[in-house]
Chain A
Amino acid sequence: MKEFTESRLALGAGELWDLGTRAEFLNAVGDGSLPEDAFNRWLVQDYLFVKGFAGFASLTVAKTPRPGQSALIAGLSALDDELDWFEAHAQARSLDLGAELHPACQRYLDFLITAGYSEPFQVLLALFYGVEVAYTVAWGRLEVQGPYAEFIERWTHEDFQAYVRVLSKLADEHTDPRQQAMFNEVMRHEREFWRMTWEG
């Protein structure tokens, strides 16, 4: 994970990087003390987030010139698999995926999708990297064990890390002066998202 925590944008985010990638929710996953309702809330809201994020990802694909597109298209397809996976888990737990977006989740998606329409692709690449790297690093601080091992495994798996590595490289190959400020916004939204999973 060192390569990610020491990536240009992560270092540039300063304290926001830690705020966006550490959470009480995750600590509780790690030590096995996570309340069931917090886990369920996370599952539903994260599913809704991924659904919206797929829209952002499509906009990024549309704007990014080849050859960068191919990794993003693979990512888009992985998001689709992830939605199936969420749906299966939600069904097993009898959760309603038609629930309303929590305001924290709504703000995060409003931010990303508005950017998707209005920002240049260089900025979108930094946002894309921010969303994915935050997840792999946040979950990556946990041991793959306990009742939620499958979830930890998902975002710490070598394949996922390889994908995040490509996103990092793309963002670095196509810099823009606004990348850092927008990456920082992603970290702010991550922090709010995690706070929501824990506090409701």
Chain B
Amino acid sequence: MSAEPLHKTLWQGNQALAEECLAHPFVRGLGDGTLDPEVFKHYVAQDAFFLRAFFSAYALGAVRAVEKREVVQRLHGLMRGVLDELKLHEGYAETLAIDLGKVRPHPAARAYTDFLLRTAWTAEVGEIMAAMTPCMRLYAYLGQELALRDHSQNPYREWIDTYSSAEFEALAAELESLLDQLAEGTHSVSLAYRYAMRCELDFFSASLA
């Protein structure tokens, strides 16, 4: 029996995928500021579509955990975090003149949200947490890595600041703590975590396509 918390085992087991995301041309472009603004615009629209599903998945998780009042309250806190993130996207949408209501999801975004929502409708709450954690932990990781270099002149500094912030790290850690509390290290939990990491990578690739 390992004393290591589940979230750590899962993250380390998927480190290679996290590194692939960090080295992805899309993420590199955000980091050095060279990403085509048109590409970023499409990405923001797709990400807003994704975040609405992510929000729903928390809500469905909360329904599944309704007997555990403390868990429900913490999930509600995480839902507020998503709403704040969506506000950031709405801000981008206004600046970049995107109509977030008219977004047609690309297949990679659709595959990701279908997976999340299917898990949220059908799986136990621990597995739902496993499907959701990669998104939060990966973005915290990418934000913190990109923030290591001077980005004061980077046109995407707001994005980097958001995901490298202490507030976002706290949200990611909160979700990981729920994962540790609610999930067992079963095969289906590992599969859900890994599949979500793959979806993240595919999402970046689709954003460049």
Asked if residues A111 and B121 are in contact (CB atoms below 8 Å), the reply is no
A107, B195: Cα distance in complex, Å: 11
| Cβ of A5 under 8 Å from chain B | no
| Cβ of B36 under 8 Å from chain A | no
Do A117 and B117 form a contact, CB below 8 Å, given A106-B195, A111-B110, A188-B107? yes
Contact of A114 among B107, B114, B195 (CB under 8 A): B114
A contacts with B: majority SS? helix
Asked if residues B111 and A114 are in contact (CB atoms below 8 Å), the reply is no
Q: How far is the CB of B72 from chain A (nearest CB, A)?
A: 20
A111, B114: Cα distance in complex, Å: 5
| Cβ of B118 under 8 Å from chain A | yes
Asked if residues A106 and B117 are in contact (CB atoms below 8 Å), the reply is no
Asked if residues A113 and B121 are in contact (CB atoms below 8 Å), the reply is yes
A109, B132: Cα distance in complex, Å: 19
Interface residues of A in 76-129 (CB under 8 A from B): 100, 103, 106-107, 109-111, 113-114, 117-118
Question: Interface size bucket, B side?
Answer: 10 to 19
A103, B198: Cα distance in complex, Å: 10
Q: List 7 A-B contacts (CB under 8 A).
A: A55-B122, A100-B191, A107-B115, A109-B118, A117-B118, A118-B117, A188-B107
A188, B108: Cα distance in complex, Å: 13
Contact of A113 among B107, B110, B118 (CB under 8 A): B118
Q: Chain A: how many interface residues by the 8 Å CB criterion?
A: 13
Q: How far is the CB of B110 from chain A (nearest CB, A)?
A: 7
Q: A110-B115, A117-B117, A118-B117 are in contact. List 14 more A-B contacts (CB 8 A).
A: A55-B122, A106-B195, A107-B111, A107-B114, A107-B115, A109-B118, A110-B117, A110-B118, A113-B121, A114-B114, A114-B117, A114-B118, A114-B121, A118-B121
Asked if residues A110 and B114 are in contact (CB atoms below 8 Å), the reply is yes
Name B's A-contacting residues (CB within 8 A): 107, 110-111, 113-115, 117-118, 121-122, 191, 195, 198
A100, B198: Cα distance in complex, Å: 15
What residues of A have a CB within 8 angstroms of the CB of B115 in the complex?
106-107, 110
A118, B113: Cα distance in complex, Å: 12
Asked if residues A117 and B195 are in contact (CB atoms below 8 Å), the reply is no
Q: How far is the CB of B53 from chain A (nearest CB, A)?
A: 9
Name A's B-contacting residues (CB within 8 A): 55, 100, 103, 106-107, 109-111, 113-114, 117-118, 188
What residues of B have a CB within 8 angstroms of the CB of A106 in the complex?
115, 195
6 A-B pairs closest in CB distance: A110-B114, A114-B117, A117-B121, A110-B118, A110-B115, A107-B111
A109, B114: Cα distance in complex, Å: 9
Q: How far is the CB of A106 from chain B (nearest CB, A)?
A: 7
What residues of B have a CB within 8 angstroms of the CB of A103 in the complex?
198
Asked if residues B111 and A113 are in contact (CB atoms below 8 Å), the reply is no
Q: How far is the CB of A102 from chain B (nearest CB, A)?
A: 12
Q: How far is the CB of A9 from chain B (nearest CB, A)?
A: 20
Among B117, B191, B198, max chain A CB count under 10 A is at: B117
A35, B93: Cα distance in complex, Å: 50
Do A113 and B195 form a contact, CB below 8 Å, given A118-B117, A188-B107? no
* Chain B residue at minimal CB-CB distance from A59: B121
Q: How far is the CB of B93 from chain A (nearest CB, A)?
A: 23
